Amino acid sequence: MFRGSITALITPFKNGNVDEKAFQEFVDWQIKEGTHGLVPCGTTGESPALSHAEHNRVVELTVEVAKGRVPVIAGTGSNSTAEAIELTRHAKQVGADAALVVTPYYNKPTQEGLVLHYLAIANAVDLPIIIYNIPGRSVVDMSIETMEKLANHKNIVGVKDATNDLTRPSRLRLSLGTEFCQLSGEDGTAIGFLAQGGVGCISVTSNVAPRLCAQLQDAWHLGAYEDAFRVRDILTPLHQSMFVETNPSPVKFAASLLGKCEPDVRLPMAPLKLKSKARVEEAMRDAGLLN
């Protein structure tokens, strides 16, 4: 259903507001560069700093530009189940193809709580749901056993795995088969994740290197492994630079170097330090993205 290089979209700001023009131009550029899918309002899109109205508007803007050319997987997660249902309903109403729902952060639910949370959303909205498992930010790790239970629901179709555990996709594939969509949530593990049974990556780096990230995924799926490895080696230093400070400050700065947006982030995110800026710019040049 969903595969390849899927961009976790940044949200451009200008004078404190969402820069709608820059955002829609950015989304169109992403599609023209070969990106296979789009995720608005994820972590990289600074969803915790968006108002509900802004969140909904960003999803709408993405769907408007995509026009069915690539799937739109709207970030609709929350640590409030009722809020997640509300955001997921809106995503369905405006034409998103799926929802990316993060495990509830701060609440620290049990595995049973996770099951009840996701089932409540899946029962309330008839839209494909991809579980976003990111223990580093949510402080809760959904077990494979819990994921297996949830996969029985027709609307729960896959996972974005940001655990950095490359045994997980193969273990989950053995129990759920190939229909359950497994996407890496870590750029640096993209090829390892594919080799272990995944089908793609929800990427930060593809904000600034969409063509390269798409080429890596295309090469792998075509069996052109040497080409995939060549692109991997170009991208690896760039992946590392995107996390020299907390995401999305580095990728926002990198996008600004391409003239795609202002480097502005919202508090409590901080502007990139000078040393980090130099590292990002160097990685961009080495990858051939800047003259």
Determine whether 14 is an active site residue. Answer: no
Q: Which of 132, 252, 260, 277 is catalytic?
A: 132
Residue from 118, 160, 260, 277 carrying the catalytic annotation: 160
Side-chain half-sphere exposure of 83, counting CA atoms within 13 A: 13
Bridge partners of 72, per DSSP, are 38
The reply to whether 105 belongs to the active site is no
Contacts of 266 (CB under 8 A, 6+ apart): 13, 46, 49
Annotated active-site positions, please? 132, 160
